[in-house]
A and B are shown apart, each in its own frame.
Chain A
Amino acid sequence: MKKNMSLQTSRRTLLQAGLAGLGVAAAAPAQTANGQPADDYITPAMRTPGRPFTAYGMPASYEAGVKRIVTPPGISPGTGVSRTPLEMLEGIITPSGLHYERHHNGVPDIDPAAHRLAIHGLVKTPLEFSMDALMRYPRISRMHFMECGGNSGANSGPTPSQQTAGGIHGLLSCSEWTGVALGPLLDEAGVMPTGTWLLAESGDAAGLSRSVPLAEAHAQGILALFQNGERLRPEQGYPVRLLMPGWEGNLNIKWLHRLKVTTGPMMTKDETSKYTQLQADGRARQFNFLMPVKSVITRPSGGMTMQGAGYYEISGVAWSGHGAIAKVEVSRDSGATWVAAEMPGPVLPKCLTRFRLPWDWDGKTTVLMSRATDDAGNVQPVRSVWIAQFKPGQGYQNNSIQSWQVGADNSVKNTYV
């Protein structure tokens, strides 16, 4: 009762103060040349009819800084990567225009009317599918992350790379993919009993090809045609890509034009010389398909400026190629203690999961970390444990815990603990 009284009192006080303020404004309004008050809190947007409709909407002009981090190209203009600016985004879905890119010889311009997908090799009836034919099959929609096998490779370096969350971990995106289940199409061609692997090949200037175990391709493979409701972007494989949910990005062949059923892996360039992990003993891990459990705090994160002590929401994303995220623990004290973050949902298998945790920062230098656990029981390792498994500089499938040092000077930096 007393609380209500004081609330009313304060409301009355505020009202009086407000009226007084209005009185001042009414007493001496500044005039412009056309008789309009100079500052009457009526904005140009309120006085001027807005612009007309657009056929395809774009972000506000003020958001022009939200863009992919395009790395200077490698050996040719279309060889290299661009990264998703994770720290600028919210929720779990990556806008299609900000999905990361990894191309081996540019983005092809493919006319869907002329494109064909062939299924051949150890099948009873070699088949080809026009895009019109693929579009007639029953469709499925799934929300899944896509992550390059080389994501976070910067943290394999000897010293912490001072980049943003996207600069280090941005070969990671998440979309709602819609397409056709691969299994029934393989059945339609009639896989012979000797067929145990599947070669998937792109129809671009790199002819990128990867071998996929047939049983898994049959059970999990999706021929993705749509991304976030619209047809695939050219950068994501228009008009059709292979989607193996949770498997390393390289294997999700874009611009898919050929599937060949084989008796074994073809040992392609990208599954031997690349996307293999050289262990400390000099032997290399091959066919390590599933992306491991991982998380990263995106806010606050590298390159941001804190605003002094006080309330912050720690937020980030977690994901695993093995399934759904079971929990994300956050340390706000350099790893001394860990607290379970909230996962407001959705929490979906092989999909980015958003986590949040309130933080009352005392303004002193500390280190923030996040540690994800998936529902298969896999736990994200600390960097020193991950690094010890491999030779120096091995960047593939680095899922070690990211540490951000928040400084008393309000800086946020990548650090190794």
Chain B
Amino acid sequence: MSRFALIAFFCVAASPAFAADVPHFGAPADPARVKAWDISIAPDGAGLPPGKGSVAEGAQVYAAKCQSCHGPNGEGKPADRLTGGIGSLTSAQPVKTVASYWPYATTLFDYIRRAMPVTAPRSLTDAETYSLVAYILSVDGIVKKNAVLDAKSLPKIKMPNRDGFIDMFNKTAPR
């Protein structure tokens, strides 16, 4: 190895973060873009928008925009079943639904707002989304028939299967 190569070797080995080796081509993010795109809701409710919706309002929105795919009262067919099945997971014929399987109500808000209805995603208002969560969870009594959900009340809902998951990553991760 020549002396030059040796020096070059030590330079690289000693400072892998050489400015010339790590180019920076990112631009400062447009705050308006981030605000418009950041629709994910954390399980503690972080990210939930202002607004509110009731079970009664949700029943109307559901009948108009959801029932054709998810059936009356969220019974499913042709799309996923949303209601019922609570307590069935340990049985021989488990029925996975929003009510019986989903661990967090925040997930329901997040998913409805970003992806439903399938023919017109991102078309529901925040109030409509709150009301749909309220209605769907009311079918099985997870929330009361007179419930009104908002950013404060929605994350407090404890779903029946909240503790039904085993975190395989933390179980197996080398840490």
* Residues of the A chain whose Cβ atoms lie less than 8 Å from the Cβ of B39: 207
Chain B residues contacting A224 (CB-CB under 8 Å) are none
B109-150 residues with Cβ-Cβ distance < 8 A to A are: 110-111, 114-115, 118-119, 121-122
B96 touches A267 (CB 8 A): no
Contact (Cβ within 8 A) B22 A273 = no
Complex: chain A residue closest to B70, CB-CB: A75
Contact partners of A104 in chain B: CB under 8 A:
115
CB distance from B172 to the nearest CB of A (A): 8
Q: Which residues of A contact B165 (CB under 8 A)?
A: 272, 276, 283-286
Q: Is the CB of A267 within 8 A of B167?
A: no
Nearest CB of B to A172, in Å: 21
Interface-side segment among A39-47, A119-127, A407-415: A119-127
Whether a CB of chain A sits under 8 angstroms from the CB of B7 is no
B118 engages A75 (CB within 8 Å): yes
Known contacts A118-B33, A206-B115, A207-B121; A286 and B167 CB within 8 A of each other = yes
Contact of B118 among A105, A127, A128, A188 (CB under 8 A): A105
CA distance A185 to B25 in the complex (A): 9
Choice from B38, B93, B101, B168 contacting A392 with Cβ under 8 Å: B93
Q: With A75-B118, A273-B96, A392-B92 known to touch, is A128 a contact of B38 (CB < 8 Å)? A: no
- Tell me whether A266 and B42 are in contact (CB under 8 A): yes
B157 beta carbon closer than 8 Å to chain A: no
Provide the residues of chain B in CB contact with A281, threshold 8 Å: 90
Question: With contacts A266-B110, A268-B107, A283-B166 known, is A184 near B29, CB below 8 A?
Answer: no
- A189 B26 Cβ-Cβ under 8 A: yes
Contact of B121 among A118, A201, A206, A391 (CB under 8 A): A206
Interface of B is mostly: loop
Q: Using Cβ atoms and an 8 Å threshold, which residues of chain A touch B92? A: 391-392
Bound Cα distance from A335 to B63, whole angstroms: 55
- Contact (A272, B102) CB under 8 Å given A266-B41, A391-B94: yes
| Residue A350 lies at the interface, judged by CB distance under 8 Å to chain B | no
In the complex the two chains form, is A267's CB within 8 Å of B33's CB? no
Q: Tell me if A76 counts as interface (CB < 8 A to partner B).
A: yes
Selecting from A27-35, A151-159, A254-262, the interface stretch reads A254-262
Check if A260 sits within 8 Å of B40, measured CB to CB: yes
Distance in angstroms between the alpha carbons of A206 and B118 in the assembled complex: 8
A282: chain B residues within 8 A (beta carbon):
89-91, 94, 164
A136 at the interface (CB under 8 A from B): yes
A379: shortest Cβ distance to chain B, in Å? 17
Distance, CA A281 to CA B163, complexed state (A): 13
Our count of residue pairs bridging A and B at CB distance below 8 angstroms stands at: 155
Within the complex, which residue of A105, A129, A258, A273 is in contact with B26, where a contact is CB–CB below 8 Å? Answer: A129
Among A75, A79, A262, residue most surrounded by chain B Cβ atoms (within 10 Å): A75
Query: A269 at interface (Cβ–Cβ under 8 A)?
Result: yes
Contact with A along B20-38 (1 / 0, CB 8 A): 0011111111110110011
Q: Are A262 and B29 in contact (CB under 8 A)?
A: no
Q: Separation in Å of the B101 CB from the closest CB of chain A? A: 6
Contact (Cβ within 8 A) B37 A285: no
**For the complex, is A195 an interface residue (Cβ under 8 Å from B)?**
no
Chain A residues closer than 8 Å to B62, beta-carbon distance: none
Q: In the assembly, what is the distance between CA of A11 and CA of B24, in Å?
A: 71
Quick check: is A289 within 8 A (CB to CB) of the other chain? Answer: yes
Instruction: Compute how far the CA of A264 lies from the CA of B167 in the bound complex, rounded to whole angstroms.
Output: 12
Asked whether any CB of chain B lies closer than 8 Å to the CB of A187, the reply is yes
User: Chain A residues near B154 (CB, 8 Å)?
Assistant: none
Whether A116 is near chain B, meaning CB under 8 Å from some CB there, is: yes
B71 to chain A, nearest CB (A): 12
- Minimum CB distance partner of A199 in chain B: B40
Q: Which A residues lie within 8 Å of B121 (CB)?
A: 105, 205-207
A-chain residues with CB within 8 Å of residue B90 when the two chains form the complex: 281-282
The 7 closest A-B pairs by CB, nearest first: A282-B90, A127-B26, A287-B169, A207-B114, A126-B29, A133-B25, A288-B168
| Residues on B with beta carbons closer than 8 Å to the beta carbon of A285 | 165-166, 168
CB distance B33 to A105 under 8 Å?
Answer: no
Does A304 touch B at the CB level, under 8 Å? no
B167 contact set on A, CB distance < 8 A: 286-287
Q: How far is the CA of A319 from the CA of B175 in the complex (A)?
A: 26
Q: Closest approach, in angstroms, between the C-beta of B158 and any C-beta of chain A?
A: 14
* A188 contacts B107, C-beta separation under 8 Å: no
Q: Is the CB of A266 within 8 A of B43?
A: yes
A381 at the interface (CB under 8 A from B): no
B1 interfacial by beta-carbon distance below 8 Å: no
Rounded to whole Å, the gap between the CB of A396 and the closest CB of chain B is 12
